[in-house]
A and B are shown apart, each in its own frame.
Chain A
Amino acid sequence: MMNREVNKQYSSGEVLAPPTERYTVLGWLKKNLFSTWYYTLLTLVTLYVLYAVLKPTLFWALKQAEWEVVVVNLRLFMVGQYPADQIFRIWIALHLLAFTAGLAWAIWLPKARRIGAFLLLIFLGLAALPFISGFSRINWVIFVVAALIGWGLGTWKPKAMRRPLMWLLLAYFPILILLILGIEPILKIVKTNLWGGLLLTMLLAVVGITVSFPLGILLALGRQSKLPIVKGFSVLYIEIIRGVPLVTVLFMAQLMLPLFLPPQIKIDNVLRAMAGIILFAAAYMAENVRGGLQAIPKGQHEAAWALGLSGFQTMYYIILPQALRNVIPVIVGQFIALFKDTSLVAIVGLLDLLGIASTVLAQPEFIGHQREVYLFIALIYWVFSYAMSYASRRLEVALGVGER
């Protein structure tokens, strides 16, 4: 009887949908928090610990902490000693970045409109912060407008804008350096020892990754080379640098670089630190690029040879383009790591985002506000590196980078 019923049901063509998991609130709690007696115990203990930790922390952050130290010194944290009348140059660089990012967003992530709009809202929100100057307020608005113009252009003619975007991306680094450093008749030179705060942190990371990129490719090719002397040199360099901490490389750059150079050349603290960071990043970059090179199947080499390409042509036209495309996600990861690692220049006395904290804390009215200052700095680092890693994950998926 039962069987016949079931058969009838199936034969009538109505296929039952698979049961979906639906929980009531209580059911969800039971499954995810109180499934067994030891999970119940763990949940309760964790809740108590959370309460015990969060309550005084929140009380401190909202009632006791004096955030004035951050508000008053905001410019110091952002750009350090950079001359106040030249700050518009940093803004121009930022607007150009916003324009480029808008363009890239329209071309590469045409579907992710909602996130883009959300980001723009955040920047507009920054313009509405109560304690920033009118000049910054206007600039945040221009920033958003620049991004919108870029996005509009990209949506209007996505095909035609691909090439300009590439050029913009390639030219951005030299333009950035020219803007910040200056060219004499047009823009006043701002010496590197005046760079500071988040600006210096960012520049150190950008310069480090950009300059170490070609060096890293050379070292990686050297390590793969069949010439024993070249290979030996590359391996030695990479392994020595990777075996020592960054501070020792910075220490060496600070103290030994002036000795190595002829006495008439004098370079300041910031340039020495940059040299150290570049030397350090090149070794890690080489290993990343090598990973990409090793992932290229041997057939590609052989096919290129069979077509009559020379060794250089094979590398330049066949192997490197594929290898570099594959390692983009890893290089983004390295950039984020380097962004965090640049905080080490504070040890050799530079006034980057972390180094400037001691200057701020030395102000007589703000003595003893370490918690506020360091929490603020940690928050800035966190926001930037989290945003970058989130964006790179999204981009990887959208572009299919790293997949073959």
Chain B
Amino acid sequence: MNEAVPFWRDERVLKWIAQIVFLVAVVASVWYLYHNMITALAARNLLPSFHFLKLTAGFDIGEHLIPYSRNSTYGRAFLVGVLNTIEVSFLGIIFATILGIIIGLMRLSTNWLLNKLASIYIEIIRNVPLLVLLVFWYTGVFLQFPRLKQAKILPGPTIVSNRGIAMPWGTPTATWHTYLYILLAGLILAAIVWWRLTLIGKRTGRMPLVTVWSFLTFLGVAALGWGLVTLIFHQAPLALSTPEIKGLRTVGGLELTPEFLALFSGLVFYTAAFIAEVVRAGIQSVSKGQIEAARALGLNGFQTLRLVVFPQALRVIVPPMTSQYLNLTKNSSLAVFIGFPDLYSVAGTIHNQTGRAVEVTVLMMGVYLSFSLATSIFMNWYNKKIRLVER
């Protein structure tokens, strides 16, 4: 009985045949689509190339973090869009986390009013599309503010009008660069304090308030440095610039456009509702016995939260929180509907001017994909750091 299995019934061979057939099918259809595309593009004289990025853009972008004018290139315009997306996502993530934690804790509170308010908020926000919220914020709230002539002036002075909000802000002076080095030194010192205190905590078994102490160190160095720089160079690192109304616009201070405000607050309020649920689920996942045990050991309420509940809740919270952060970043692409020049919006303008659909799509998707990848790599690293280490 040394008969070999015939090759058409050999599972190993069959598997390879199946894969090759699949591959051929995929490659053939992709080639077919690609061929169609190239033919269509060649007929319009738009064969794929990225040379257009070096051409002059010729359009203005309202908000830019790096110098930009209509004489800049398409490439630079695209970069402006990318930076705007990063800016609004970064700020959005921070504020949505803070608001989300507050609402999540309200949802857990035994105070009936706070509890009910939080759940009503969550139920309203989660059942309305973000885009509708954004449009409502933009046209229904921020554009309905009084006109600049009747602008509301809050203490500061902060000027609130339908052109946005302008508030006092520091502008860097000649000594700002020197001061940056001092801030860096403060950061390093804070890291050292963090490290030493953690070591001491581990050795003695009494964990000091590590975050608070290192933060205080940083603040102390920053304040000391500020005084020193002002004394030595007779010029503070930052000069206070206050906004004032000049004609049809405001000058000076920090100007926040209604587009930015609408996008930012829309993203924050929307994502906070989801984060609140994540936080609530995380804290509720810590079993009651843990809290009772902590109280039995004599820890007070705050210590119980800090040392027992949060570290365990964090493990449950981090993975869904990651996807909320990613969602926020991706959702920032809805900015185009209210006219904030984010990545998607700028890319759309570039496409309108050049007609280069393929290249723009590839660039845009590539950037969003790398955001997603970067966020998930960072969060995976963080998740690994805090996960349960079993003996």
Q: How far is the CB of B151 from chain A (nearest CB, A)?
A: 19
Interface residues of B in 331-358 (CB under 8 A from A): 331, 333-334, 336-337, 344, 348, 351, 357-358
- How far, in Å, is A22 (CB) from chain B's closest CB? 17
Find chain A residues with CB under 8 A from B19 CB: 227-230
Bound together, the chains give a CA A375 to CA B139 distance in angstroms of 11
Main secondary structure of the interface of A (DSSP, over half): helix
Contact of A252 among B135, B140, B361 (CB under 8 A): B361
B22:A230 contact, CB within 8 angstroms: yes
A388 CB → nearest B CB, Å: 9
Q: Which residues of B contact A343 (CB under 8 A)?
A: 129, 131-132
* A70 contacts chain B at the CB level, 8 A cutoff: no
A346 within 8 A of partner (CB): yes
Q: Are B139 and A370 in contact (CB under 8 A)?
A: yes
Q: Are A370 and B128 in contact (CB under 8 A)?
A: no
* B55: A residues at CB distance < 8 A: none
Q: Is the CB of A227 within 8 A of B18?
A: yes
Q: 1/0 per position for A214-232, CB-CB distance to B under 8 A? A: 0000000000001111100
For B337, give its contact among A228, A346, A381, A385 (CB under 8 Å).
A346
For this complex, into which size category does the number of interface residues on chain B fall? Answer: 35 or more
Checking A255, A262, A340 against B36 with a beta-carbon cut-off of 8 angstroms, the contacting residue is: A262
CA distance A42 to B337 in the complex (A): 38
Q: Please state if A229 and B113 are interface contacts (CB–CB under 8 Å).
A: no
Verify B127–A370 contact, CB threshold 8 A: no
Cβ of B33 under 8 Å from chain A: yes
Q: A227-B15, A245-B331 are in contact. Are A259 and B139 (CB under 8 A)?
A: no
B321 at the interface (CB under 8 A from A): no
Q: Do A47 and B365 contact each other (CB < 8 Å), given the known contacts A343-B132, A347-B337?
A: no
Residues in B neighbouring A382, C-beta threshold 8 A: 124, 127-128
Contacts of B39 in A (CB 8 A): 263
Q: Write out, one digit per residue, whether chain B residues 121-148 have a CB within 8 A of any chain A CB (1) or not (0).
A: 0011001111111011001100110000
A357 to B337, CA, bound (A): 13
Cβ proximity bits A356-373 to B, threshold 8 Å, 1 near / 0 not: 010000000000001100
B128 touches A43 (CB 8 A): no
Q: How far is the CB of B170 from chain A (nearest CB, A)?
A: 31
A256 pairs with B22, CB closer than 8 A? no
Given A243-B373, A247-B333, A33–B111 Cβ distance below 8 Å? yes
B22–A240 CB distance below 8 A: no
State whether the Cβ of A278 lies closer than 8 Å to any Cβ in chain B: no
Is the pair B131, A354 in contact by a Cβ cutoff of 8 Å? Answer: yes
Q: Check: A251 CB closer than 8 A to any chain B CB.
A: yes
- Enumerate chain A residues within 8 angstroms of B368, measured Cβ to Cβ: 243-245, 248
Cross-chain contact B111 with A347 (CB below 8 angstroms): no
Residues on the B chain within 8 Å of A263, using CB: 36, 39-40
Q: Is the CB of B136 within 8 A of A375?
A: yes
Among B18, B117, B132, B333, point to the contact of A381 (Cβ < 8 A). Answer: B132
State whether the Cβ of A378 lies closer than 8 Å to any Cβ in chain B: yes
Would A340 and B111 count as touching, CB distance under 8 A?
A: no
Least Cβ distance of B43 to chain A in Å? Answer: 8
Contact flags A259-301 to B (C-beta < 8 A → 1, else 0): 1111100000000000000000000000000000000000000
**A381 touching B128 by the CB < 8 A rule?**
yes
CB distance from B363 to the nearest CB of A (A): 10
Contact residues in A for B131 (Cβ distance below 8 Å): 343-344, 346-347, 354
Least Cβ distance of A272 to chain B in Å? 12
Proximity string of chain A (234-249) to chain B, C-beta cutoff 8 Å, 1 when within and 0 when not: 0000001011111110
CB–CB B361/A374 < 8 A: no
**Smallest CB–CB gap between A262 and chain B, Å?**
6
A259 touching B40 in the complex, CB below 8 Å, given contacts A229-B23, A240-B365, A244-B330: yes
B153 close to chain A: CB less than 8 A = no
Q: How far is the CB of B226 from chain A (nearest CB, A)?
A: 34
Q: Within the complex, which residue of B36, B111, B124 is in contact with A32, where a contact is CB–CB below 8 Å?
A: B111
> B98: CB under 8 A from chain A?
no
Contact B364 A248 (CB under 8 A): yes
Q: Whose C-beta in chain B lies nearest to the C-beta of A386?
A: B127
Contacts of B139 in A (CB 8 A): 370-371, 374
CB-CB under 8 A from B36, the residues of chain A are 259-263
Q: Which 3 A-B pairs have the closest CB atoms?
A: A32-B112, A243-B372, A255-B357
8 contacts between A and B (CB under 8 A): A32-B112, A35-B111, A43-B114, A244-B368, A255-B361, A262-B36, A343-B131, A377-B132
Can you add 14 more A-B contacts, CB < 8 Å, to A240-B369, A245-B331, A258-B40?
A32-B111, A33-B111, A39-B110, A227-B15, A230-B22, A244-B369, A244-B372, A247-B333, A344-B131, A347-B131, A354-B131, A377-B132, A378-B133, A382-B124
Q: Which residues of A contact B (CB under 8 A)?
A: 32-33, 35, 39, 42-43, 46-47, 50, 226-230, 233, 240, 242-248, 251-252, 255-256, 258-263, 340-341, 343-344, 346-347, 354, 357, 370-371, 374-375, 377-378, 381-382, 385-386, 389
